[in-house]
Amino acid sequence: MARVPSVYVISLTPFDDDERLDETALRAHLRRMKSAGIGVYAGGAGSGEAYTLSPGEMRRVLEIAVEELKGSVPVRAMGVEPRTANEMIAFGKLCAEVGVDAMQVYSLDIGHVGKPSNDEIERYLDDVLSSIEVPAVISTHFSVGYFVPVPVMARVCDRYDHVIGINCTSPDINYLTQLCTTIDERVEIHTGLMTQALGALSVGASGYLATEANVVPRLCVEVIDRYRAGDLAGLMAAYGRLLRFSDRLLGDGGSIKATKATLRLLGLPGGIPRRPRLPLDDAAANTRLTRMIDDLAIRETELP
C-alpha cells in the first residue's frame, strides 16, 4: 500500500489594520484554498501566528475553518508547541469539540533550551495519544531543538491506530528517509520543507506542507498533480517555478510578512501580521514583490 500523494497549506490568519482577527478575510482566504483543492492546516504556530491568538480566537479560527472546508478538502488543526502534555490534551479536546478532520501533535518544548530524553518523549506522546480521540498527526520539527527518534515514532504509531500521519520538518533528508522506510504505510508522511518535496516523494513520503500555498495554492497542487500523472517535464517546470517563487518571497522580510504583503499587492485577503511582527512596508521590498508577481505570472495563474 503506497502513500497517496498530497499537499497541505499551513494557512495564515488574517488580522485587520487594528490587529483584530478578521473573520471575513479568513473565510475568503479559506474559500480560495478550497477552490484550489488543497488540504489546510489552520491555527499554526508559524504561518498562522497562533502564538498571538487568545484561546477564544483559536476556537474561532478552527470553527471557521471547519465551516468553510469540511467535506470539501481536508481540514486540520496545527496548534503550537506545548510545554506539557496537558496543554496538548486540552488542544485535543478543543479539536474534538470543533470537529476538525485531524489535529497535529507538536513535539514537547520543555523550555530553557532543554531537551527531553527519549523515554520522556515517548511518555509524552503516550500521555497525549491515550487521552485524545481526534485523528492525530505527530510533528517532529527542528523548532524544539530535537527530533523524535525513529524507533520511538515507530512504536507510537504501532500502538495508536488514530495516528494517521507524521509531519517531518528536518533539513536531514536521511531522517525523513528512515521514517518513510520504517513507519507503516498506513501512516502518511509529509515533509514540512517545500524544498524537499521531490526528495520526499522519491523515498515514499506522501508529499509536503507549504507556506507558499497561501499565495500560490494552484501551483502547489499542480506539483502533486503532475507527479501523480507521471508528467516529468510538467513536474519539473511547476516545481522549478515554485522554488523560484519561494526564493524571492522569503528573501523579503521573512515568510509571513512577505506573504501578507504579496497578498495585499494582489488584492487578496490576508491582512497584516500581528505584533511582535510588523508589516512589511518598505517601498523597495514592495517593488521587488511586485516584480516577482509579474515575472512569475502570479496574477494570471492564481487569481480567479
Is the Cα torsion angle 257, 258, 262, 263 positive or negative in sign? Answer: negative
Q: What is the pTM of this model?
A: 0.97
pLDDT band for position 250 (cuts 50, 70, 90): confident
Q: What confidence score (pLDDT) does residue 253 get?
A: 56
Q: What confidence score (pLDDT) does residue 1 get?
A: 59
At a CB cut-off of 8 Å and minimum separation 6, what does 182 contact?
A: 150, 151, 153, 154
Ordered by start, the domain boundaries in the chain are 6-215
Q: What confidence score (pLDDT) does residue 212 get?
A: 97
Could you please state the CATH topology (level 3) that the domain comprising 6-215 is classified under. Answer: TIM Barrel (3.20.20)
CA atoms within 13 A on the CB side of 146: 16
| Distance (Å, whole) CA 231 – CA 40 | 25
pLDDT band for position 254 (cuts 50, 70, 90): low
In sequence order, the β-bridge partners of residue 190 are 167, 207
Averaged over 99-110, what is the pLDDT?
A: 97
Kindly report, residue by residue over 128-182, the tens digit of the pLDDT: 999 999 999 999 999 999 999 999 999 999 999 999 999 999 999 999 999 999 9
Q: What confidence score (pLDDT) does residue 304 get?
A: 81
- Of 19-28, 253-262, 293-302, the range with the lowest mean pLDDT is 253-262
| Distance (Å, whole) CA 300 – CA 304 | 8
